[in-house]
Structure 1
Amino acid sequence: MWEKALMKSKTCSSTTNFILRAAISGALFSTYTAVQAQESMLEEVVVTAQKRSERLIEVPISITTLSAETIEQSGVRELKELGDLTPNLMISQNSDFGTNIVIRGVGANSRNIGFDSRVGVYLDGVYLGQSPAANQGLVDLAQVEVLRGPQGTLFGKNTVAGAISLTSVKPGDEFEGSVGVIVGNYDNLELQGSVNVPLTDATSVKFYGNSTTRDGYVDNLFNGDQANERDAVSGRVHLRSELSSSLEMNISADYMEQDRLGFNGEPLTDTFGFFRPEEGKDKYEFSQQTVLEDKELKGASLTFDYETEGGYLLKSITAYRDSEITYDADPDYDSAEFLGVIYTDTYEQTTQEFQIISPDDSNFKYVAGIYYYQQDSATDRDAIPGLGTVFFPGAGVEVPILAFGIDPTRKAVDIDGTVDTESYAIFANGTYDLTDRLTLGVGFRYGEETKDVDWNIDGSNSGAFRIATTNVVDSRTDDSFDPTISLNYAVLEDSYIYGRVSTGSKSGGYNLDFINVDQVEAGIEFDQETVTSYEVGYKGEFPDHNLRLGVALFYSEFEDYQVNQYVDLGGGRTALSITNAAEVITQGVEIDVTYQPTVNLQLTAALGFLDAEFDSFPGGDAEGGDASGNKLPYAPELTASLGAQYYYPLPAIDSSLLLRADYSYTDGYYITASNDEGHTLADGSEVAFGEVDSYGTVSARIGLVSDAETWEVSVWGRNLTDSDHQNYSFRDFFGTILGGYAMPRTYGVEAKYNF
């Protein structure tokens, strides 16, 4: 297994090898020099991955943690930017409508109400919902934890790839607050403020608000619009009350609204994928109808924590989430009003979780719980023909949509329907100290999930595209038992080696999208997938506590892996398909290093090496060929990041100069299960499709911070080299090849005042 992975590493580019050697050499150099630094110590990192506060190095799970300071000083503002700081984490950069989060090469977007994501995003233990709700603003957070591998025994909602846990800042006992402003190029303006108010000795409330506007950076030559902008308003209120010496109550509510000119990709071809487009040949120019993307997210939670006289903690989490996204697409990617599609998807969910957490002062520590999840999802999608014409190379003329047998006076396709999901789960996770050095961990999750579907599609006016006309009324139930076991051994006082075997499952579902007649005949239901993951690792802090090192080696086998992709129907036609691959294998290594040689200087390095492929997937590529042996989409062999942060004291003005720089590298990767390496047009030329080349980005910050932490002013920049690398491509309904490119260099000034 590992020999195979090492052989593949030899094929990396010279840049890849240089970064790999630099990361490993940096770790070895840090080990050598750590003994020379006696005056500096790393702050202890405490995580709640196992539902109790524990030191990071003692938890037998591959975890990357990001503190509030790291998030703020690195300039990361949205969830989709976390991949810059986290090995083996990829998050799609295009529309929020189908946000795709990939951990260790495994992920999925849920642009389809019958298909679930593989990575769960949680805020204070509450599952935030499907893809439209995933890209949260990273504000007012105390910590972010990225957990890799199946996590069903720790979180009520089963997650086969991993989990991203966001922990907010709780209200405190003092009256305090902050105001901040960020201005930058592209007319970027962000205003934020918070205030913490103690209402009584036992009750406090905190308010937080944020408003962000930024012009787009993709010019629409057709109408002068600037696409891919930001225009969002969000807020949060959190009340904490100690109802008694043993009972605490937390009530929180949050809201986010985003209305923007969206962007799904740069057309690299004409509508039907035969030639290059006549207009919009620059990477940041296009010519078509502007698409709109409106998103509204809101939710509330009620949490009770009760500590018994015996030290047991009883917890209840009741939560409600509501997500709605409307996306106005232009699938012909032309300025003519040929065909438009309007999507509106809504997700309304209620969750209830009860936990019992044992005391910390015993050899056997555990958390056990029951979880209830209920989600009502609905979709309304209309394909609306227009009176415009597009150039059709096969005929050499401009053709109206009538030429494809579609009546422009009525909808081409009409979709509406619901999927109601109800699931129950019981879970437990515990550790037992076999000796002073050896700890056994065991856990399980048993869950049952039922999906009731009532869905209609009317493609009677779709003409040559043969979209189906049918009604699906059905129900399916999946159940699973997912155990986990681990051993954690203390080699030294602060050095641990561990082994872990974990399992997980993802329920089956239905392909409820723009499907054709043949797909209905073949069946649109897909099966449950399962995973077994093996992991061994090391976590430790060296004697002077100025060097922290984490290493994890993993191997995961997925059975009946669910694949969501466009398949080629020929003649410039495609269809959305969801099928089960027989087997997928992912394996690799993750390394995290934090080194603090002096009190004021901290260095970080992270490395992820990955080999993720379809071990068996006959008939799985876009044209029906065998995809066995192909790489998984969005699974680069190497991801790496390097960071340095330094505070230079300025006692004359009671402040410090902050210097920070971050470098992120991503190896090349495929976009499709077919592992396409470009697309040949009718004239013999090539467009970049299916494969993304390696790229790297640099970010930096220079600031002035008061020693009393009452104010801070800084100058920042992201993608300072102005790299215009492609980070995604895909083929849309008519066969159009599209690509997306990195956001150009951004820079600005940030000021913050704390009171």
Structure 2
Amino acid sequence: MISRAILLAGASSAALFTVPALAREAVSVKSASTESESTAPQQHTSAGTGADDTGDTIFVTARHRTESSQEVPLAISVVGGDHIDATGSFNVGRLQQLTPTLQFYSSNPRNTAVNIRGIGVPFGLTNDGIEQGVGIYVDDVYYSRVASATFDFLDVAQIEVLRGPQGTLYGKNTTAGAINITTRQPTDTFEGRAEVSVGNLGFKQAKAAVSGPLSDRLSARIAMSATNRHGTIHNVTTDRQINEQDNLGLRAQVLWKPTDSLKVTLAGDYSYQNPECCGTVYVRTGLTQRALNRQYAALAAAQGYAVPSTDPYDRLTDLDASLNARNKMGGTSLRAVLDTAAGTLTSVTAWRFWDWKPANDRDFTGLPITTLSQNPSKQDQYTQELRFNHEGDKLGFVFGAFGFYQKVVTTGTQRQGTAASAWLLNPSSALSKDPAVLDGLTAANDIRLKNTSAALFGQVSWKVTDRLTIQPGARLNYDKKDGYYNSVVTNGAGQPVTFASTDPRIVAQRGVLAPQFFTARFSDWNFSYDLNVSYKVRPGVLLYATYAKSFKSGGVNLNGLPADASGAPLLAAATVKPESVDHYEAGIKTEFWDGKAILNISAFRTEIADYQALVTNGQLGVLRGYLANADKVRTQGAEWDFSVRPSERFNAYVNGAYTDATYRKFVDAPCPPELSGGTTVTAGQTASAPGTPGGFSPESCDISGQRLPGVSKWSLSWGAEGNVPAALLGQDGQVYLGVDGNYRSRFSSNPSPSDYTWIRGYALTNVRLGFRTDKGFDVFGWVRNAFDMDYFEQLQVPSGNTGLIVGNPGDPRTWGFTIKAEF
């Protein structure tokens, strides 16, 4: 399957903010993103910031050249590959524990959200018809599917997390920031590394890489990673552990240097996941506005149903439908870098694919209500980027062009079971007593998208003086999306379910699964720009300020649309307007104590008009999410990072963020569950108090001023490591003890804040103790979530609004051992 890999292209990002580097090694060698062979001079100016940190300068390539992270007037945090290994942060979900303003949520790989400062993609069900606001890039290649965030990092040298809008330096525009991943590159000398970890819950992880020359002008590198772990939830129906880990990753690269000025890299990668995933546990119930006999307690009692445990941290479930999260992703890439007297020309060509074959239990219970729910999807993307980069004494610039094409084909099926009639139909109706009414009711969905984007972009850097630099940039972008949606519904007898029929059984069936067909098209031109000014007060102190006028492309709804009384889709909701972004930021980067300490502080404010938000309609059996535009959203706050390395025997860091992310104006938002499900109010009527069974519900809710989902006001990450000289088995080295942790204050887990779905704040602490040598041997034991903190990663409101709340509990305490060797 590696042959189905990509031909590279990409993007990276220019965003804003600064968190110190959580890196063991200073990246002093050329990374894949670097445009020129010249490297920044070695200096000992960055403070220690994490496990195994050497104290050397941390280099980044955010502006297409290698430079110290403290010299870059952008908001950026850097995490080194060895720190990733030491802390067990082997995917983006774990990475959020190291970077306070990164938010990661995943109920399964497809329904995954990666946000920065509370913005990026709507919280909830994935919709292929819109762009993500946080770009994920690997060796200059843009990954359009956020599902890639669930894969293990593979042979990673460094990760740069950039905050704020970007688009004037890179190919694909993203408005919230970027995660720029650089892998280790082929080397001119032979080298290798291997790592094996074992732990409780049957955890096994192996990583290996080997690199070296094939000839004077040709070198290659091959890497692999495999992870397996038992699930953390026990399914009493199947007597199996679910939500397991089962990941495999492969990467191969060949570097050809036909001349001293030309480098060509051909790369291919393939990743595979096949876990029994993704299930939830019962958390609680809450009263809604539905009639009391249509709420969870009454419906469960009527069928004699009880969950295996009402304590979610017993980690028991009884889901009876098939669960699967098979996930394949890969591609090939070709990157050519030509150094000339005038500058550096870079071409990146890429193809990537994503195959998704899931199975879910969409009723979240052990009853056969929904017996089949799956939306297999096949996606291909092609990208081409050209850049020319020039760096002079007073003037530098980068100009580029970018093309993107994506094709998505999704063919889904949902089928109802024998318990559906009693659960989904009005208990006062005779039809609810007949299981055959809904048993076998099936919706077959055919969903397609063609997504085309093209851009011209550029940025100029003018060094007015040795201290003052002015950097303007601009982008011209064109986007076009063509969407197709067709849902055909048939009942258990094989009859088509249509809106033309007046048969009471058909009427009841289409109230649960309604047929729908529509096509939608969006196209638009956008012009965006930014201006960055930086001033070096003195060596070790840099001030910077940024304004960016950016946008997020509009899109089409591909999860189905709300319909009128006759069943016709409301086509006004078929397209979603672009977001318009105004971003302001100012920061200071400081080094002191002879370079042994770093303190970076940034303040930001981002205002978004026509914010793309997920809403839902009132379907009985289907959680049909579609996109709409909220009038205005704002996120603002401050971020700070402190790191210190008083000696080679000790280093520590503390990073923090305060984020105030709210809907400033959203007057027609979907209502939370406690205000939904009742009779819709009409003129002269007043909505009932929240949680009034049989009450009146507003048609929509004004949630202006309320918090965006998934955002903690306060978030922190911290760590420290100390070591002493020691010898083991005749080898000189160091015994070390490291601690790292993070804290998040409470956050909402529903698009419209609900009293039922707030997740309380929590703190996680990890500990490691080991021995390492300067020759690359490292053995250590580790404990993660050392205090066995009970917490939720996400809460969900199942369809039907019965008051049921389910959740995804975070990992319990885990422990294990790791052995690493480099040669």
Cα deviation for residue 430 of structure 1 reads: 2.2
**1:657: Cα distance to partner?**
1.1
Shift of 1:412: 2.3
What secondary structure does 1:620 align onto? coil
Contact 2:421 2:433 in 1 (8 A): no
* Corresponding position of 2:232: 217
CA distance in 2, matches of 1:754, 1:402: 67
Partner of 1:333: 364
How far off its partner does 1:523 sit?
A: 2.8
Identity %: 27
CA–CA separation in structure 1 for the residues paired with 2:257 and 2:430:
70
Contact 1:84 1:664 in 2 (8 A): yes
Q: State the aligned residue count.
A: 701
Cα distance in 2, alignment partners of residues 128 and 120 from structure 1: 7
CA distance in 2, matches of 1:330, 1:673: 22
Shift of 1:396: 6.9
Equivalent-residue separation in structure 2 for 1:398 and 1:259 (angstroms): 42
The counterpart of 2:630, out of the listed 581, 584, 594, is 581
Extract unaligned runs of 5+ from structure 1. 1-33, 35-39, 679-689
Q: Does 1:493 align with 2:539?
A: yes
Map 1:394-543 → 2, pairs under 5 A = 407-409=438-440, 411-459=441-489, 461=497, 463-465=509-511, 467-518=513-564, 520-521=569-570, 523-542=573-592
Per the TM alignment, residue 68 of structure 1 is displaced from its structure 2 partner at its CA by: 1.4
Q: What corresponds to 1:717 in structure 2?
A: 783
CA distance in 1, matches of 2:474, 2:433: 57
**Helix, strand or coil at the partner of 1:545:** coil
Query: Alpha carbons of 1:573 and 1:712: their partners in 2 closer, same or farther (altered >3 Å)?
Result: closer
Offset, 1:473: 2.7
State the match for 2:694 in structure 1: none
* 1:243 aligns to 2:311 (yes or no): no
Q: Cα distance, 1:753 vs. partner?
A: 2.1
SS of the equivalent of 1:268 reads strand
Give the alignment partner of residue 231 of structure 1, picking from 226, 246, 249.
246
The TM-score normalised by the length of structure 2 is 0.82
Contact 2:746/2:761 (8 A) holds in 1: yes
Question: Within the alignment, does 1:655 sit opposite 2:757 as a pair?
Answer: no
- Structure 1 444/309 Cα, relative in aligned 2: closer, same or farther at 3 Å? same
Q: Which piece of structure 1 moves more, 394-403 or 109-118?
A: 394-403
Separation in structure 2 between the aligned mates of residue 448 and residue 405 of structure 1, nearest angstrom: 51
Partners of 1:715 and 1:476 lie apart in 2 by 53
Q: CA deviation at 1:400?
A: 9.2
Whole-Å separation in 1 of the counterparts to 2:477 and 2:121? 21
Counterpart code for 1:528: P
| CA–CA distance in structure 1, aligned partners of residues 763 and 145 of structure 2 | 29
Structure 2: which amino acid aligns with 1:278? A
**Alpha-carbon offset, residue 628 of structure 1:** 0.8
- Cα contact 1:219–1:286 (8 A) shared by 2: yes
Give the CA deviation at 1:280: 2.7
Residues of 1 paired with 2:451 and 2:234: CA distance?
41
Alignment deviations for residues 712-736 of structure 1 (CA, whole Å, 9 cap, x no partner):
1110111111111122112122334
**Equivalent position SS for 2:522:** strand
Structure 1 distance, partners of 2:359, 2:613, is 25
1:325-344: per-residue Cα shift (whole Å, max 9, x none)? 11111112233333221111
Cα distance 1:444–1:108, how it changes in 2: closer, same or farther (>3 A)? same
Tell me the SS of whatever aligns to 1:108.
Answer: coil
Mapped pair 1:129 → 2:144: yes
- The reply to whether residue 672 of structure 1 matches residue 750 of structure 2 is yes
* Cα distance in 2 for residues equivalent to 1:717 and 1:390: 48
Q: Distance in 2 between matches of 1:280 and 1:400?
A: 29
Letter in 1 for 2:474: F
Given that 1:595 and 1:603 are in contact with CA atoms closer than 8 Å, whether structure 2 keeps it comes out as yes
Q: Could you tell me how far apart the structure 2 residues matched to 1:68 and 1:400 are?
A: 60
Q: Describe the superposition over 1:191-233 as per-residue Cα deviations: whole angstroms up to 9, x where unpaired.
A: 2211113101221111101111111010001111211101111
Look up the match of 1:87. 100
Residues 555-594 of structure 1: pairs in structure 2 closer than 5 A:
555-567=605-617, 574-594=623-643
Give the one of 565, 590, 595 matched to 1:545. Answer: 595
Question: What residue is the counterpart of 1:263 in the other structure?
Answer: 278
CA deviation vs aligned residue, 1:324-368 (integer Å, no higher than 9, x gap): 111111112233333221111222000000000103x42111111
Residue 61 of structure 2 is aligned with which of 48, 55, 59?
48
Residue type at the aligned position of 2:596: N
Give 1:408 deviation, angstroms.
3.3
Q: 2:792 aligns with which of 719, 723, 726?
A: 726
| Partner residue, 1:286 | 317
Q: Give the Cα–Cα distance (whole angstroms) in 1 for the partners of residues 819 and 269 of structure 2.
A: 25
Give the superposition deviation at 1:543.
5.0
Among candidates 186, 190, 194, match of residue 201 of structure 2: 186
Does the CA contact (< 8 Å) of 1:391 and 1:398 recur in 2? no
Per the alignment, residue 62 of structure 1 pairs with: 75
1:298 is the counterpart of 2:335:
no
3-state SS of 2:275 partner: strand
Which residue of structure 1 aligns with residue 350 of structure 2?
A: 319
Deviation at 1:600, TM superposition (A): 2.1
- Give, in angstroms, the shift of residue 133 of structure 1: 2.3
CA distance in 2 between partners of 1:633 and 1:560 (Å): 17
Distance 2:420 2:634 in 1: 46
Question: What's the secondary structure of 1:647's corresponding residue?
Answer: strand
SS at match of 1:463: helix
Cα 1:390–1:445 shift into 2, 3 Å: same
Name 1:704's counterpart in structure 2.
Answer: 771
Q: Equivalents in 1 of 2:192, 2:618: separation in Å?
A: 56
- Tell me the residue number matched to 1:633: 709
Confirm or deny: 8 A CA contact 2:425 2:432 kept in the other structure: no
Give, in angstroms, the shift of residue 269 of structure 1: 5.6
Deviation string, structure 1 residues 63-98 (Cα, Å, up to 9, x no partner): 111011211111111111111010211101431121
The Cα of 1:575 is off from its aligned counterpart by 3.5
In 2, distance between residues paired with 1:664 and 1:520?
Answer: 46
Deviation at 1:530, TM superposition (A): 1.5
- Partner residue in 2 for 1:747: 815
Match of 2:28 in 1: none
Which amino acid in the other structure matches residue 740 of structure 1? N
Residues 614-638 of structure 1: per-residue CA shift (max 9 Å, x gap):
1010111325110111110011100
The residue number in structure 1 matching 2:502 is: none
Indicate how the Cα distance of structure 1 residues 572 and 385 shifts in structure 2: closer, same or farther if over 3 A, else same.
closer
Are the counterparts in 2 of residues 371 and 424 from structure 1 also a CA contact under 8 Å?
Answer: yes
Q: State the one-letter code of the partner of 2:822.
A: N
Partner of 2:42: none
Cα distance in 1, alignment partners of residues 592 and 82 from structure 2: 23
**Of 634, 641, 645, which residue of structure 2 is paired with 1:596?**
645
- For residue 469 of structure 1, report the CA deviation from its aligned partner: 2.8
Alpha-carbon distance in structure 1 between the residues aligned to 2:430 and 2:348: 57
Structure-2 separation of matches of 1:280 and 1:427: 57
Q: Deviations over 1:83-142 (max 9, x none)?
A: 101021110143112111111111226722212221110001111122222323123111
What whole-Å deviation, never above 9, does each CA across 1:273-298 have from its counterpart, x for those lacking one?
52387123232111112411100001
TM-superposed deviation, 1:541: 1.3
**Retained in 2: the 8 A contact 1:692–1:726?**
yes
The structure where strand makes up a greater share of residues is 1
Which of 667, 672, 675 is residue 618 of structure 1 equivalent to? 667
CA distance in 2, matches of 1:74, 1:517: 49
Secondary structure of 2:110's counterpart equals helix
What amino acid is aligned across from residue 667 of structure 1 in structure 2? S
Q: Deviations over 1:536-576 (max 9, x none)?
A: 0001211501111211100111010000144556x787531
Corresponding letter in the other structure for 1:544: D
Whether 1:100 and 2:113 are equivalent positions in the alignment is yes
| Cα drift, residue 389 of structure 1 | 5.6
CA distance in 2, matches of 1:450, 1:728: 33
Structure 2 residue ranges without an equivalent (≥5): 1-46, 48-52, 287-293, 490-495, 498-507, 677-699
State the distance in 1 between where 2:373 and 2:425 align: 24
Distance change >3 Å, CA 400–CA 335, structure 1 → 2: farther
Native 8 Å contact 2:560 2:626 kept in 1: no
Amino acid in structure 2 at the alignment position of 1:413: A
TM (norm. structure 1) is 0.89
